[in-house]
Amino acid sequence: MKFFIDTADIAEIRDLAATGLVDGITTNPSLIAKSGRDLFEVLKEICEVVPGPVSAEVTAIDFDDMLREGRILAKVADNIVVKTPLTVDGLKTCKTLSDDGIKVNVTLCFSAAQAILAAKAGAAYISPFVGRLDDTGADGLQLIAEIVEIYNAYPNFHTEVLVASVRHVGHIIESAKMGADVATIPPAVLRAMYKHPLTDKGLDAFLADWAKTGQTIGDAGGKETRRSA
Ligand code: E4P
C-alpha cells in the first residue's frame, strides 16, 4: 500500500518524508488555504521535497476553465497529478487530460457508480472519502471494498483506489486488508500508526536493563563495549 500525506504543510511534509515512507502528497483548496501560502509556491516546494505524485486540485467548475487550470497546474512539475471533482465537467476534464498523458486524481467520490465513471474516464486515481461518508452514518470502508472488487473485475481499468478523508488508523488497516492501492493520510494519523503502549513499555525495560550492564556499543565491538569505571 502506498502512503500519501494529506497536507500542504511543508514542515510536516519535510519531517515525514525523512522517514522514507512517504510515496506522495495530496492537497486540496482547503489544505492550501490552511497553509496560508501561495498555491504555486507551495506546490513547487512540495514537488521538490517529494518526488512521488503530488495532487493539485482545480478550482473552476466548468469544463473549459477546469481544463485550462489543469494544464497550468500540470506544468508546475513533472510529478503533479491534477485533481478534478467527480462532476460531469470534472470527468470530461479527466478524460481530456488523461488522453493528453496528464495524470488525474478524481476527488469527492462517494459511490461505486461514481468510481466506475472515473475509471472509464481514465483517472489515474479515484479518491473515495471514507471519513466524510462515516460522518453521515454510512460505511466509508464498505465503499472501498466495493470499488476494489469492481476494479479487480476489470483488468482494463488502471485506476488506483486512493483512500481519502482518513480519520484514524483503523481506516488504514481495513483498507489495506481490502487491497486498496493508496491511502492519503493526515500527518497525525501517520504518526499514530507507529504507536503502541507495549512498544514504549518494552523499550523502557530493555534500556533500563542495558544501563545496568554498563556497556556501550562501539565500533570496536566487544573489546571496547565496557565503559571505564
Ligand atoms: C484528499 O485528497 C482529500 O482532499 C482529503 O482526504 C479530504 O479529507 P477531509 O475529509 O478530512 O477533509
pLDDT digits (tens, 9 = 90+) for 95-127: 999 999 999 999 999 999 999 999 999 999 999
Query: Which residue's CA is the closest to the ligand 1 atom numbered 11?
Result: 165
Beta-strand pair 125-128/54-57? unpaired
pTM: 0.94
Query: In this structure, which amino acid lies at residue 206?
Result: F
Chain Cα centroid distance, residue 199: 26
Provide the pLDDT confidence category of residue 223 given band limits of 50, 70 and 90: low
State the average pLDDT over residues 75-104.
Answer: 98
The SS3 of residue 153 is: helix
pLDDT tens for residues 31-47?
999 999 999 999 999 99
91 vs 114: CA distance, rounded Å:
10
124 vs 103: CA distance, rounded Å:
6
Q: Which of 165, 166, 182 to mutate to test the pocket of ligand 1 (most atoms within 8 A of CB)?
A: 165
Assess whether pLDDT exceeds 90 at residue 54. yes
Q: Which pLDDT score is estimated for 219?
A: 81
Q: Which pLDDT score is estimated for 136?
A: 98
Q: Using CA atoms of 2, 46, 74, 181 in order, give the dihedral in degrees to the nearest 10.
A: 10
Catalytic site includes residue 83: yes
83 vs 76: CA distance, rounded Å:
14
Q: Which residues does ligand 1 sit against, CB inside 6 Å?
A: 6, 26, 28, 107, 127, 129, 131-132, 164-165, 184
Assess whether pLDDT exceeds 50 at residue 72. yes
Alpha helix locations (H) across the chain? 10-17, 29-35, 39-49, 63-74, 88-99, 112-120, 130-135, 140-153, 169-178, 187-194, 197-213
Q: Which pLDDT score is estimated for 229?
A: 42
Cell reading at 66: 477546469
User: Under a CB-based contact definition with an 8 Å cutoff, are residues 4 and 25 in contact?
Assistant: yes
Provide the pLDDT confidence category of residue 78 given band limits of 50, 70 and 90: very high
Q: Which pLDDT score is estimated for 119?
A: 98
Query: Which residue's CA is the closest to the ligand 1 atom numbered 4?
Result: 28
User: How many A from CA of 26 to the centre of ligand 1?
Assistant: 8
Q: Which pLDDT score is estimated for 188?
A: 98
Among candidates 116, 128, 121, which has minimal Cα distance to 161? 128
194 burial via Cβ count (<10 Å: 0-12, 13-18, 19+): exposed
Q: Which pLDDT score is estimated for 220?
A: 74
User: Under a CB-based contact definition with an 8 Å cutoff, are residues 205 and 197 in contact?
Assistant: no
User: How many A from CA of 210 to the centre of ligand 1?
Assistant: 44
* Residues β-bridged to residue 26: 6, 55
Cell reading at 181: 492501492
229 vs 106: CA distance, rounded Å:
65
Query: Which range has the worst mean pLDDT, 42-51, 127-136, 216-225?
Result: 216-225
Q: Which pLDDT score is estimated for 100?
A: 98
